[in-house]
Structures are given as structure tokens and as C-alpha cells.
Chains A and B, each alone.
Chain A
Amino acid sequence: MGKILEINGPLVKLELPRTVLGEQVRVGRMGLVGEVIGRDGDTALAQLYEDTAGLRPGEMADGLGWPLSVELGPGLLGGIFDGVQRPLQAMRERSGDRIARGVAVPSLPRDTRWHFVPDPQRRAGAVLAGGDVLGTVQETESIRHRILTPPLLHGELLELAPEGDHTVEDVIGRVRLADGRIEKLYLFHRWPVRTPRPFRQRDHAVAPLITGQRILDTFYPLLKGGKAAIPGPFGAGKTMLQQQIARWCNAEIVIYVGCGERGNELTDVLESLPELKDPYTGRPLMERTLLVANTSNMPVVAREASIYVGITLAEYFRDQGYDVVMVADSTSRWAEALREVSGRLGQMPVEEGYPAYLGSRLAAFYERAGRVETLAGDHGSVTLIGAVSPPGGDFSEPVTSHTKEIIQTFWALSKELADARHYPAVDWLESFSGYVKSAAKWWTEHVDPNWESARADALDLLAASEELQRIVNLVGVEALSGEQRWTLEAAGLIKEGLLQQAATDEVDSYASPEKQFALLAALLEIHRQGLTLVKLGAPARKLIQMPLLAQARRWKSQHGSEDLSALKAKIAAIPQAFEPLLLEYASTATPRTMGGA
């Protein structure tokens, strides 16, 4: 038992001998919780997860004997937790609409009874190793929760409960360890959030994460188990894009961490996800989703912790063999929380007040993503998507530039595009993906072998049009050749008919890979047909006036992903639209072509 010596914002100096760095402490009459971040002789420095107003020097302090840990077991899905995994819905029942301090509510519900089905392989007397599946609980209609042996446990299974209903506190088994001690098994176990959960080995990521967003899937793909960043100034649609990913991606579990962001955004997710259906299973999206929320008005130290709580939950579902996506909005707020605490500790700032260890902390965090072979021999993945909020939209600031070195897929959001209401405002020139080659294999096998070349053609067109646009801005469109004008028009077609995607439009919000490719191929076909004509001498002006161009811009919102036959019919009819012009110009051009041959 110790006592408080000094209070300075969220930092508290304690007289607390023999405490361990990282240990959880409970301080003051209110029982506020925090963790030890420094020791000097008998004094310790702790950062508290709650507001310290009203705390006094001289009040008691006590070490709890464990680091910040999360409870892992059934009851997580569909829930919303704060930055230290307190269940916010249960907190509301306990302390009302506002978050009172010092309230301790267990993370997992203690009274829910789960129907446990033991794994037939687990027989008494057999060896039980960390990560082994003890059995399953059907947590939601779509997700079967695999009950795992705690990763560091190894011993002889003495007994395991038969099929039946249990609360998370019921003992469901016993294990004799090597030293003869008997360890009890429950439906859940605890794991410290700052320690990555172990696995057998890292695997190659093979399949792309399909998000249903054309600019992402078709142009800058991300793999399951990959790392991506979404940097963008405010108002560029960062949150919207992340919510679209959380809604439509083909992961089995989605963990959405609202780190220092708006309260209403989480409310939006909480209210909309139960009504939206998973396009893959048809079940409400909330059944596969879990929220961790430290909104911008909640204490800053818990903000720093929330990212680790999120990633540990993600690893836990990965260890059950699931593909998990974790969306962290925003890693900049996490970095700022780090800066705030380091500033109070008087550490020497390097860039823009950030501590010197910013880069290494970021890298270590992103490294917890990946596709792995689990301890049980299954395959699971954690895909990590971090939003970055660069001050003033300046991508050269420390958090963005460090992140850029770590991740493989970079979805850069642009203020200019957002101002012109081009959504999603992903800048096709600034963005990049290191996963195109791997993704191409998947697209070839599952959709179309021409995906990679079509993608490259479209990007070439976009890049060329950027050059041409510069010329137009200087001397006007009349200075361009017919071919150049047609290039400009075709790029415009790709931007409006393919890249722009309306999240609020029921049909357009999600596009299957098949629909994405059909649209891409169609627009390229229009470009090709027109190009042939321009080369035959048809004036670009005439082509640009074709009604087909206006029609093609609407296809994306006229045809849903579930039935592409009507869209395919329209695509097949593209050559017909060009036929009258072709007849007109091919005939006049024929002699020349003949002469050249």
C-alpha cells in the first residue's frame, strides 16, 4: 500500500515501493485506475486513465499486480468498449448517460450463459498446449467463437466440461502443469495488451481484402493481413471511407477503434450497423463488429491504450482462425496522446513536439498485423487500416511520414477532390499499393485474367489526362489534338463513371469485384472504340457528344452487384453505339489504310 505524492494533470507521483513498470494501480478514494510508467527508488510515476480532478496528495495508492489486460471470451461481438475495455453499454446502465469516474464493470458479461460444445479431440489425459481450441460457443448467428487455451499454458488436460451452458466465470476444465500445479480453465482468459499474442509463424498474404470500393479494390488493393494508411485533411472523407470499409469488407470480424474522434460518428456506426446486412452472410453487420471508443472528450491516457486494446482483440479472433480487419481512426490522435504524456514527463521533443520514439512505436504497432499460422495450426489474419489526420493536410508531418514508411498500401485523400465532391476522394496519383502483383493472381483466378493490364491502362489514361489538363489550363482545350481531347474525355469518364462512388446510394455503395471489373472494362472499351475513330479522322467533338458517354456515367448506380446481366448487355452493345460513326469514317479512311498496308 502506498500514497499519492503529487498530481499533475493525468500524471500522478506515488510512493509505491516494489511496483513493476506497466503495473496497474488504483489510486485515491475514488479508486481511479492507471498504469506505472516510471520508477525512481520508492517513488513511481503513474498515468491515470481517468480525470484526476479532486484527487489529493496523501490519498492511498495500490498496485494491482498485473499489466493492462483485456478479457478475451464470448460476449465481445456487437459490443462497444472504452479505451481500457470497459463495456460502455453496461456502464450506462450503471452510471447514467455520463461516464462517472472510478466505475469498475467487468468487460465480459458475468451472467450470460453460453452454450459450450467441447472439441471431441480434447480428452482427459491428453496434452493441452497454448492456443488449442477447447470447444466452441455460437456467439452470434454468423460467428462461432472458438474457446482457446491461454497461449502460455501447457500441461495435461485433467477434465473438460461436457456440452452445456456456462457463464464465463464457471470452471470448464482443469490442467496439470509441468510443475504439478493445477490450473483452472474458463470460457475466457486475460492477455496483456502491450504484448503481441504468439503464433507459430507468419504466412504469406494471398487474398485481397475486398472492400466493395472501386478505387481501393481495383486500383490500390490491400491484402488480408496487410497494412494500410488513410491520410487526409479534415473534410476529405476519411471517416466515411473507413465506415464503408467496415461495412462492406469481406473480413469475418471487424474491429473499429474510434481513437480521439467524434462521439456522433460512433453513434452513427452503432445505429446503422445493426440495420445493414453483411453482403456475404446476409446477417446484420453488427454481429461481426466490435467497437472500441475513446472519443476526443474522453481521457487522453486511455486514448493511448485504446489502440492496443483494439489490436489485442483483433489478434484474439485471428488466433481462432478468422480474417480480422481493424480500423484505427485515428492514429494521429494516438500519437498526440503519446506526445501529451511525453511532454508532461519532460522528455526532449524531436519533431513538432513528438517524442523520439514515435517512429518505433508506430512501426511496432503496425507489425502486429499479418497473416499467420496460429498456435492451433489454423490460418488467420489481422489487416490493419490506420487513419492519419495530418495537421493542415501536410503529408510531410511526422505521423504521416513515419506511417508511410511502414505500410504497404497508401490511400491518400485529397482536399481538392473532396471540395469538388469527388468521393471517395482518394487521390489516384498520390496513392500506392505494394500488393498489386499478389492481388493480380487472385483477380486472374477469380474474376478476369486481364485485370492487371486493364488497371494499368486506366491509370495510364488518368496520368496522361493530368498532363493534358495542365496544358488546357494554360492555353485552352482548343490547343489539343483530337486524340488528346478524347484521352481527356475518357479519363473524365473513368473518374465519374468508376472512381466516384456514392456511399449513400443503395446500389452504388458496394460493388462486387465482378461489377468493378465489368465497369472498368466497359469504360476502357469506350475509350478504345473512340480512339480508333479519332485515328480514322473522326473529330473528337463528335465523339464527346455521343449520348453513350452520359449513359455510361450512370451505369454504376443503375445496376447492383447481384445481377450484372443487364449491365453486361449494355456493355456488349457499346460497339453498336459507335457503328454509325465507324461506317462514316472507316469508308473515307479505307483507301488510305489500304495504301499504307
Chain B
Amino acid sequence: MKNVEFRTAASAQGGLVVMAGVPGVAAGSRVQLRDHAGRLRSGQVIRTADDAVLVEVFEGTDALDLERTWVRFLDEPFKLPLSRDILGRVFNGSGRPADGRPPIITADRRDINGEPLNPAARAYPREFIQTGMSAIDGMNSLTRGQKLPIFSGGGLPHNRVAAQIVRQAKLLGEEAADFVVVFAAFGASHADARFFQESFEESGVLNKVVMFLNLADEPVIERLLTPRAALTAAEYLAFDLDYHVLVVMTDMTAYAEALREVAVLRGDVPARKGYPGYLYSDLAEIYERAGRIKNRRGSITLIPVLSMPSDDITHPIPDLTGYITEGQIVLGRELANQGVYPPVTVLPSLSRLMKDGIGKNFTREDHPHVASQLFASYAKALEVRGLAAIIGAEELSDADRRALAFADAFERRFIGQGEDEDRSIHETLNLAWELLSMLPPETLIRVSEAELAKYHKGKA
């Protein structure tokens, strides 16, 4: 069947083509269209019956002349050619070379949809990754194999934060040799793509990076393939070649919007804000490919970046993402406006896997309690700040004034740090104690009395 061209396109509309009279086409099969100008477009079968086959065309259906369109059913799903040579390469959104270099020559081609990992085969992520950023390491620690998104908004420095994580991420006491990056951009601007490329270049990791780029002016439907192609490459690097892979994907909002566009064309029943009811399952198919597998050395750690429309964390995209990922790093406009970098709003931020990757044997024995105390003290101090805004700082008690001073110092010195500042976890924890020492020891009930005696610098 794959060598036969059919010229039976019966209708076309907004990226979808209906083919008549092609019996026995496999669901999900890849399709190649040749238009009247001889240009090739690719597509995928999304519904199939003997009398009609519905094809989704990734490059769109613009300027398609039904009578002069030839269609071939390739009889296989979308596959990505894989070999060690993908390192250092740049591909387009559907996995074809985009750096002017030759295609990957290999017999190993894999279905980009992957297969679900058996939950019984997973290994639980427990190894602490040091990012060198206090707000993350100290309070929202990342572990190897975790999926931890960055929730951001337009104009916030999420790209700089992501790039800094890529530059600085390391496991305590281990060589960085088997560490590689898969970077996927969909709907990103050329400027953003260049920023990442230059940042990889500067830090000298370019030959350890695989890039998949579907930029803002490239076909929208192709974005449905990009994260899947990137993760297929990541799975190969992690579980065939034993690399520890850090996957950065930006921007998931552009992906979800592409999905909605296609869903509307297909006539799927919308759930919230026009997004299809299967947005959750679809996002999960992507995010859940991160992780570790028993008896395999490699791992996939996933950092998706998404911009929250109107900074709304309850919007379906961040909302559903938060239900699937193992926490979230939330960037805030308020901190950013005050010049704090990275503007991590720590209270809504969370790392679910932190509890199992820190403390004795991992970071330092006081880490869990210190993190918990920082959260509690900062939350309380913010309440005081709210109060001070109403009744004026003069009316505050002495204890409240100390809390205010703590909140300010915490934001400027603990959360805030330089873009090239790479703090060790010990530096982060010592800094935390220095700040906690601004508060009376009897108010610090999340840390143990022994820890207070050892680390608190105030008069006990």
C-alpha cells in the first residue's frame, strides 16, 4: 500500500482531508501528500473506515487542490531515526534535520508515541539534583527523574531560569560526563530559540544537546509531534545509552493551543475554555514519559515551561499540568517587578518528590525541617506585611517588625541571586539559618531543638 498514490481526496478543511475509497488503512498511520506544485506534506490518519479516511495534515491544507493532490499511506506510525549521532544536532518540529547537515543514518527508527511505562517497572526518583538556585534547592528540590514545570507568564524570565538550571544542574559528587540535554521549543520565537542556543554554546554543552525546534511561524499542527519526537530521543538516550537526560520543553501553552485548534476542527466536544476533554490524558502522555526504570542507569528529568494565560494558575493548562507533574516552580510578577531574580514565588511552588531526595544521606540532616520552617516563617511574615499595609508599620509589635525584616531579607538574599551564581546546597542551608536567626528561636517550631542549638545564631 505504501507505494500507491491515491487521488481521491473528497474534501478538505482547516488541516483535515477526507480520502474516499481507500479500504484497510491503519489507524494512526503516517501519510504523505504531494500537492500540485510537487511539495510534500505529511499527515496522520485519525479516523478510518473503508469508505472514508480522515487525515490530519501537519503543514495545513492551504492552497490544496483536491483534484491535484496525491496521497500515499505509509502504513506505519511517525518514527524518529535514532543513533548516537543525534547529539549536537538540530531538528525541526517533526524530527527532520534543520541544521543543514545530513539525515541520521540508522536502522533504529522508533514510534514517537512510545508505549506506556509499566508502573511496576518504574524506579522512584530519589537523587537530589543541585541546581545552584536556593529557591529551588532549598525549598523545592528537584530529583533525578522528576517532572517539574516552570509556571510563568509573559515577560517573566522563565527562559533565563531554565537556561540557568541547564547550566548548573548536577548531582552531588558525580561526574557531569553522562549528562545530556534535549531541548524542544514549540511556538517559541526565533529570539527565544537563539537565546537558548547561545546559552548552550557559552556553557560549552552544545555537543551534548539535541534540539527540536518548531518556531512561532512554523506549522501549528506540527507542534503535536514536537514534544513526542523530543521525548522519543530522550528515551533512547536515557534507556539505551544510559545518559541522564534533562529535557526542557517550552512552551506547553503553545502545544495545548495547537491541540485545541485541531480538536475544534475535528468537532470534538469541548470541556473547559474550548479545550478538548482529553487534554489531561494528552498532556499526561507527554509528561509521564519522564522518570527512571528499574535496573537501568539513565533517567529523564523533565522541565516543561508554560506561560499561564493572564497569569491565571487555574487556567486549564497550568491546572491540568499541576495535576500530572510532581510539583511546580511558580514565577511571580510582583517579585520580578521588584528586581528579584529568579522571581520564584515560593508559597505556591512545590516539589512533591523533595521529601524523598533530601535530608540525611542526601543533602544535610536539617534540610527537611529548614525548608518547612522557611515556608512557615515566610508565610507568617507575609501576613504581617499585609497587616502593615493597612495599619502602618509604626503600629507593629517588635516581633512583627522582625518578621517584616525577615521577609525582606529572605526575598532579596535567599530567593534573589545572580544569574551566574551557583550556590551549593550547604551555602543555601547556611544562608537559610542566617536568615532564620533574625527570628526568635521559640517561634521556630518546625526545626528541632537540637538543630536550633546547632545552627541558630541568635541568643537562644
A residues with CB within 8 A of B:
5-9, 13, 51-58, 80, 88-89, 91-92, 96-101, 233-235, 239, 258, 260, 262-264, 266-268, 270-271, 293, 295-300, 333, 336, 339-340, 342-344, 349, 352-353, 389, 391-394, 415, 418-421, 472-478, 496, 502, 504, 547, 550, 553-554
Q: List 28 A–B pairs whose Cβ atoms lie within 8 Å, in order of A's numbering.
A: A7-B47, A53-B113, A55-B26, A56-B24, A57-B23, A57-B24, A57-B48, A58-B50, A92-B118, A98-B114, A100-B115, A260-B284, A264-B145, A267-B123, A270-B119, A297-B284, A300-B281, A339-B277, A343-B269, A391-B272, A391-B320, A393-B314, A415-B348, A419-B379, A420-B376, A476-B387, A476-B391, A550-B445
Bound form: Cα–Cα A446–B281 in Å: 47
Known: A268-B124, A339-B271, A496-B445. A98 touches B118 (CB 8 A): yes
Interface set, chain B 369-421, CB cutoff 8 A to A? 372, 375-376, 379-380, 386-387, 390-391, 395, 397
Bound form: Cα–Cα A343–B48 in Å: 18
Residues A80 and B119 in contact, CB atoms below 8 Å apart: yes
Min CB–CB distance A99 → chain B (angstroms) = 5
Residues in A whose Cβ lies below 8 Å from that of B391: 475-476
- Most chain B Cβ neighbours within 10 Å, of A80, A262, A293, A419: A262
Contact of B60 with A by CB under 8 A: no
Residues B120 and A88 in contact, CB atoms below 8 Å apart: yes
- Most chain B Cβ neighbours within 10 Å, of A260, A295, A502: A295
Bound form: Cα–Cα A391–B275 in Å: 13
Q: Interface 1/0s, chain B 446-459, versus A by CB < 8 A? A: 00010000000000
A91 interface neighbour in B118, B239, B387, Cβ under 8 Å: B118
Residues in B whose Cβ lies below 8 Å from that of A57: 23-25, 48-50
Known pairs A267-B123, A420-B375. 11 more at Cβ < 8 A? A97-B118, A98-B121, A99-B118, A266-B122, A267-B122, A295-B119, A342-B269, A392-B315, A419-B348, A419-B379, A420-B380
Min CB–CB distance B310 → chain A (angstroms) = 13
B residues with CB within 8 A of A:
23-29, 46-50, 77, 113-125, 145-146, 239, 268-272, 276-278, 280-281, 284-285, 287-289, 291, 293-294, 296, 314-316, 319-320, 322-324, 326-328, 347-348, 350, 352-353, 355-356, 368, 372, 375-376, 379-380, 386-387, 390-391, 395, 397, 442-443, 445, 449
Residues B293 and A97 in contact, CB atoms below 8 Å apart: yes
Residues A264 and B445 in contact, CB atoms below 8 Å apart: no
Min CB–CB distance B311 → chain A (angstroms) = 14
- With CB as the reference atom, state the residue of chain B lying closest to A497: B445
Residues B280 and A297 in contact, CB atoms below 8 Å apart: no
Sorted from nearest, which 9 A-B pairs have the closest CB atoms?
A392-B314, A53-B28, A296-B284, A6-B49, A234-B322, A297-B288, A343-B269, A98-B115, A97-B121
Known: A267-B123, A420-B375, A420-B376. A235 touches B327 (CB 8 A): yes
Min CB–CB distance A31 → chain B (angstroms) = 16
Residues A267 and B375 in contact, CB atoms below 8 Å apart: no
Bound form: Cα–Cα A89–B276 in Å: 33
Bound form: Cα–Cα A92–B117 in Å: 10
Residues B291 and A264 in contact, CB atoms below 8 Å apart: yes
Residues in B whose Cβ lies below 8 Å from that of A270: 119-120
Residues in B whose Cβ lies below 8 Å from that of A263: 117, 119, 122, 288, 291
Known: A98-B115, A98-B116, A352-B272. A421 touches B50 (CB 8 A): no
Known: A98-B115, A393-B314. A262 touches B326 (CB 8 A): yes
A391 interface neighbour in B77, B120, B316, B348, Cβ under 8 Å: B316
Bound form: Cα–Cα A8–B27 in Å: 8
Residues B77 and A53 in contact, CB atoms below 8 Å apart: yes
Residues in B whose Cβ lies below 8 Å from that of A389: 323
Residues in A whose Cβ lies below 8 Å from that of B239: 97
B125 interface neighbour in A264, A333, A339, A478, Cβ under 8 Å: A264
Min CB–CB distance B138 → chain A (angstroms) = 14
- With CB as the reference atom, state the residue of chain A lying closest to B293: A97
Bound form: Cα–Cα A504–B23 in Å: 59
Bound form: Cα–Cα A6–B314 in Å: 38
- With CB as the reference atom, state the residue of chain B lying closest to A479: B391
Bound form: Cα–Cα A155–B257 in Å: 62
B269 interface neighbour in A55, A353, A474, Cβ under 8 Å: A353
Residues B442 and A550 in contact, CB atoms below 8 Å apart: yes
Residues A7 and B323 in contact, CB atoms below 8 Å apart: no
Bound form: Cα–Cα A540–B239 in Å: 63
- With CB as the reference atom, state the residue of chain A lying closest to B52: A6
Bound form: Cα–Cα A342–B271 in Å: 12
Residues in A whose Cβ lies below 8 Å from that of B443: 550
Residues B120 and A472 in contact, CB atoms below 8 Å apart: no
Known: A97-B117, A550-B445. A333 touches B280 (CB 8 A): yes
Residues B23 and A58 in contact, CB atoms below 8 Å apart: yes
Min CB–CB distance A554 → chain B (angstroms) = 6
Residues B326 and A473 in contact, CB atoms below 8 Å apart: no
Residues in B whose Cβ lies below 8 Å from that of A266: 119, 122
- Most chain B Cβ neighbours within 10 Å, of A298, A352, A502: A298
Residues B390 and A474 in contact, CB atoms below 8 Å apart: yes
- With CB as the reference atom, state the residue of chain A lying closest to B441: A550
- Most chain B Cβ neighbours within 10 Å, of A88, A297, A472, A476: A297
Residues in B whose Cβ lies below 8 Å from that of A89: 120
Known: A8-B47, A88-B118. A56 touches B26 (CB 8 A): yes
B281 interface neighbour in A296, A391, A478, Cβ under 8 Å: A296
Residues in A whose Cβ lies below 8 Å from that of B442: 547, 550
